[in-house]
Structure 1
Amino acid sequence: MDKRVEPKLLAAVPAPEGSPDKKGKDKSEKSSKKESKKEVPFSEDIAEEVKPKHKRGELLIFIVFTLLYTLAVLFGRPTEETYYLRQNIISQLVSVQWKNIVEADQFYDYIRTDFVEKITPDPSEYASMSIESRRTIMGYNLIVGAIQVRQVRIDSEACDAIPPGMETVLSRCYGSYSASGQSQNSFGPPGEEGKYTFSERGGALRPLTRGELGSYPASGYIEPLSLNRTRTIELVDQLQADGWISDKTRAIFIEFSLYNPNVNQFLTVRLLGEIPQSGGIITSFAVNSIRVFRYLSTISIGIAVVELLFVAMLIYFMVSEIIAFARLRKQYFKSRWNILDWINLLLLWVTVIIRIVVLVTSMEITIDLTSEETLDLERISSLMDFEAQIASLNIFFIYFRLFEYIADVPRMDQLFRTLARAGIDLALFFIVFTIVFLAFALSFYTSFSLYLAEFRTIPQTIFTLFRVLLGDFDFENMYKANKILGPLLFFLYVVVMFFMLFNMFL
């Protein structure tokens, strides 16, 4: 029989250096090493993590810091009682008669009737009333300082474009309001041209009053109104007879301040009528609540202690960031967390400075019910409003910074890595969305700006289209304004934005 020799398995012999197998193995090892180097966790990336990992103690300190700032902000905001107080004032003063004002005579009629009936006491009881009773309106709200009417005027200018044949009829025109064109010249009826004089109030630091058509200064032509109803009506009659509101008038104001001791709140009340160069009057109002005297009750003293602790911790975090910057130098700003920290810290110092300025200014305010001078609360009101806006950003930044301290948790690290890798795709989608959205905004503005208030300006059109994305729209008005472009633009907007862009992104 033939004997078959079973082949023996040869032992693996290492390939000589330079052989193809050896080279392939070396390349695979090198590529695996490179890939392993690329797969660095997000929290350990040098560009993202130039600080040492946060310890639990640092997290607890930051949580305490966050809670202190939250308490300080919430205490400074108006309470529910203040909300109802403001709504009561608005419902009393902003009547249907005020909203329907479209010409100067109606403005005078509003002061003579609706306004004085709610602000001034009954003439038959005025002489026997105490000063406090005369100034008490709408419950227990005290009028502090003077009640005044004020107007902002412009200078006339030469007409740029006059139709042929009308040069002899038209010689002067009156444009829209601008700071450079504001008039400071005295005026009055024939024979009394200097009766009404310009009054400068507050200088350059005085806040502007924002309206529908522009922003107006605190200066102007001021006439005080009396708590005596008869005198106020006589003054208004005289203003109307003298033509106080004329073609040069661009804004008229009714201004006064209230104090409610039950809730320790001041309120600044302003009724504004804007006169566009095309004619008519656009009415609006502003009622702002101010807590001037903050530290009077036992609770407020406790909040003052909280604010001092917050400032101490703010100094601690500021010093910590300065030390980290001194140690890391150029590497410090490679971390986006560090940039966010500095933005947050600087904004927090802005709120601290504003709070100190308001506190110092409030010490100069005294309530004198016998005084007929205007109580200057506008500067404090604007500062506190600005502080509230900055605080809204700070609250977001502080709570968002909590992720910096919990980024060492593996699951959170995975989330940040995912967001970082999707950053380019998100940016590209945002660019495409912005281009398409602006195209539709300009189309809607061009089609409906003359007919619908929601599209009267480009910013208003952008806000309206954002509301459409949330399902808040009035298709019937668009259809009535333009029976062809209305449905067409609306249909294209919904299809492109909802069914194409959003679905493609999701």
Structure 2
Amino acid sequence: MASNKSEKQFMLSENEFNQMAYDNTALMNPQYIDDIDYKSEIQPMNSQQTKSNQFMKNADSDRYSCWSRFTHCIRSAWATRLTEDTMDNRELYIHTTLRELVIYIFFLITLMIVAYGPFNSNTYLLTSSMNTMFLQAQVTNGTDSLSTASSLDVLWSVIQGPIMNNWYSNTWYNTQPFATANNLTLLYQNRLIGVPRLRQLRMSSNSCMIPVYFADDIKECYGQYQEANEDKKPFGLKNGTAWTYTSSDQLGMYSYWGLVSSYGGGGYYEDLSRDQTEAASQLDRLFQNLWLDRGTRVLFIHFTTYNPNMNLFSVVEIVVEVPASGSLVLNSDFRSVKLLRYVTPFDYFVLACECAFLLFIAYYIVEEIMEIKKQGWIYFVSVWNSLDIIIILISIVCAAFNIYRTIIVINLLESILHNPNEFANFQMLSIWQVNFNFAISITVFLAWVKLFKYISFNKTMTQLSSTLGSCAKDLAGFAIMFFIVFFSFAQLGYLAFGTQAKDFSSFITVV
């Protein structure tokens, strides 16, 4: 008790000492009082500023925490073996691999539905029947057909005979007319869309050099077709599209690679009428005025049909090449394609899968970007990573074409419905559809191959991969030796038998 009292007295005496020191300092230096007052004034302000700074730090910390949680969710959604550190964590490696595999299986199922959904197993039957109908049909009381035609006069008889009859079939087999007037139907099931078109390309009479030995006897020389030197001058009657040249841009036609040469998309063309009598008159006028002559190098027969039972368009392009040798070379393209994609309930299910396919593409694009950001240029060393990029790029092209085709088909069909007597140019769409089928088939193939990427942790698959990797150099060396011998024999066959045997007539057919 005495001790506490003495301490209290000591403290009071110390305070008194400080007060006395303050008074003495104030007497010696009055400015000291102002400094003390100023510090006492700003002290509360510093305290408030400290609290404000602390609040801002807490807010920034909360925002940073939210962003961290968001980025963590993103990384978790796109976590792969390349974005996570799985080198020393076997459990994490298996977890991410299985997760990638499950997502990829769903992607693969969606891709298969998109690829096989529009496919009709009866497409070949339609193509085969159209081929037989136009290429094998024979002239009445004769044996000539388009597939056996060897001269221009036989070609005319086939066009004016069985081909015309197939185009303008308005009656049943008992001569009873169809219920719908002007409904041009092929094989009783396929409707002619628009009108047929005949188009030819020509070479001029001075398109090749005549040897001096025959210069007096031979005045005209029609050379082999070359698009750069094709004849574009009016000929014959010199009026109308059949006798004057029209460019490919105006026609909207594409180049064609035939058996003899490649041909441009322009030419001299005649669109036939939907009335059989008038169409026959048009063909007769062309026949009488020698529309096809020595200058003709190729004749294209274009038309399109639609089968409502199968919802398939048949875009037909019959090509009769007339080489400088004087014979006829027949080639044809019967493209049966499904251009109206969304009609039945199953078609709309496929549409839903196509939308899901777009989401998968977006998902894998983000995944590849994250992996490239994580790995850098090392990412492109792996074959599997390159395969991923190829699949994504082809998938983007297929998805873009799907959207483009839907828009173009709608616009084209509306134009045809308003102008049924005009030619329906489905050539571009059919070609792109065939290319789309080719692209989607490659995507399906690569997608199935990519499965090996996700099952590589299996011991058997690891051994298989290592075996193939070990013998890769030997296989490459053997392939080089094989192709050297193979192409040597191909050149031998082409040079020795190219003038006699059809299978050796060109180096491509030999290979």
> For this structure pair, what is the TM-score category when the shorter chain's length is used for normalisation?
0.7 to 0.9
**In 1: Cα distance, 2:196 partner to 2:419 partner:** 13
> Which of the residues 42, 56, 59 maps onto 2:101?
59
Query: 2:111 aligned with 1:69, yes or no?
Result: yes
Code of the residue aligned with 1:85 in structure 2: it is L
Q: What's the TM-score, normalizing by structure 1?
A: 0.76
**In 2: Cα distance, 1:392 partner to 1:192 partner:** 47
Per-residue CA deviations over 1:357-378 (Å, capped at 9, x if unaligned) read: 1111012023538721011211
Per-residue CA deviations over 1:236-263 (Å, capped at 9, x if unaligned) read: 2221221111222111122211111111
Query: 2:405 aligned with 1:358, yes or no?
Result: yes
> Which of the residues 384, 390, 400 maps onto 2:439?
390
> Which of the residues 453, 462, 466 maps onto 1:404?
453
**In 1: Cα distance, 2:208 partner to 2:321 partner:** 22
Q: Report what 1:472 is aligned to.
A: none
**In 2: Cα distance, 1:149 partner to 1:130 partner:** 29
Contact 1:209–1:218 (Cα < 8 Å) also in 2: yes
Question: What secondary structure sits across from 2:213 in the alignment?
Answer: coil
> Which of the residues 135, 146, 150 maps onto 2:199?
150
Query: 2:365 aligned with 1:318, yes or no?
Result: yes
Relative to structure 1, the CA distance from residue 192 to residue 393 in structure 2 (aligned partners, 3 Å threshold; closer, same or farther) is closer
Greater mean alpha carbon deviation, residues 442-451 or residues 193-202: 193-202
Relative to structure 1, the CA distance from residue 233 to residue 297 in structure 2 (aligned partners, 3 Å threshold; closer, same or farther) is same
Q: Report what 1:435 is aligned to.
A: 484
Structure with greater contact order relative to length (CA < 8 Å, sep ≥ 6)? 1
Per-residue CA deviations over 1:167-204 (Å, capped at 9, x if unaligned) read: 22334422222221222221115x87997122235469
Relative to structure 1, the CA distance from residue 52 to residue 315 in structure 2 (aligned partners, 3 Å threshold; closer, same or farther) is farther
Q: Report what 1:180 is aligned to.
A: 228
- Report the alpha carbon displacement of residue 63 of structure 1 after superposing the two structures with TM: 0.9
Query: 2:168 aligned with 1:120, yes or no?
Result: yes
**In 1: Cα distance, 2:177 partner to 2:467 partner:** 76
Q: Report what 1:348 is aligned to.
A: 395
Q: Report what 2:141 is aligned to.
A: none
**In 1: Cα distance, 2:464 partner to 2:335 partner:** 43
**In 1: Cα distance, 2:506 partner to 2:164 partner:** 36
- Report the alpha carbon displacement of residue 206 of structure 1 after superposing the two structures with TM: 4.0
Contact 1:156–1:173 (Cα < 8 Å) also in 2: yes
Identity of aligned residues (%): 25
**In 2: Cα distance, 1:328 partner to 1:225 partner:** 63
**In 2: Cα distance, 1:419 partner to 1:129 partner:** 65
Relative to structure 1, the CA distance from residue 193 to residue 398 in structure 2 (aligned partners, 3 Å threshold; closer, same or farther) is closer
**In 1: Cα distance, 2:381 partner to 2:163 partner:** 61
Per-residue CA deviations over 1:409-451 (Å, capped at 9, x if unaligned) read: 1111111111111011001101110111111111111111111
Q: Report what 1:90 is aligned to.
A: 131
Per-residue CA deviations over 1:430-479 (Å, capped at 9, x if unaligned) read: 111011111111111111111111111111111xxxxxxxxxxxxxxxxx
Q: Report what 1:336 is aligned to.
A: 383
Question: What secondary structure sits across from 1:180 in the alignment?
Answer: helix
- Report the alpha carbon displacement of residue 122 of structure 1 after superposing the two structures with TM: 6.4
Q: What's the TM-score, normalizing by structure 2?
A: 0.75
Question: What secondary structure sits across from 1:145 in the alignment?
Answer: strand
Q: Report what 2:265 is aligned to.
A: 218
- Report the alpha carbon displacement of residue 233 of structure 1 after superposing the two structures with TM: 3.0
Code of the residue aligned with 1:403 in structure 2: it is F
Relative to structure 1, the CA distance from residue 339 to residue 361 in structure 2 (aligned partners, 3 Å threshold; closer, same or farther) is same
Contact 1:252–1:272 (Cα < 8 Å) also in 2: yes
Relative to structure 1, the CA distance from residue 140 to residue 369 in structure 2 (aligned partners, 3 Å threshold; closer, same or farther) is farther
- Report the alpha carbon displacement of residue 69 of structure 1 after superposing the two structures with TM: 0.5
Code of the residue aligned with 2:130 in structure 1: it is I
**In 2: Cα distance, 1:204 partner to 1:121 partner:** 27
Query: Looking at CA atoms only, which structure, 1 or 2, has the larger radius of gyration?
Result: 2
* Higher share in helix: 2
Code of the residue aligned with 2:98 in structure 1: it is R
Code of the residue aligned with 2:466 in structure 1: it is R
Relative to structure 1, the CA distance from residue 353 to residue 156 in structure 2 (aligned partners, 3 Å threshold; closer, same or farther) is farther
Relative to structure 1, the CA distance from residue 325 to residue 205 in structure 2 (aligned partners, 3 Å threshold; closer, same or farther) is farther
- Report the alpha carbon displacement of residue 232 of structure 1 after superposing the two structures with TM: 3.0
Contact 2:251–2:265 (Cα < 8 Å) also in 1: no
Q: Report what 1:503 is aligned to.
A: none
Code of the residue aligned with 2:295 in structure 1: it is K
**In 1: Cα distance, 2:365 partner to 2:222 partner:** 54
Q: Report what 2:312 is aligned to.
A: 265
Per-residue CA deviations over 1:347-390 (Å, capped at 9, x if unaligned) read: 11111111111111012023538721011211110111111111
Alignment: residue pair count? 412
Query: 2:293 aligned with 1:251, yes or no?
Result: no
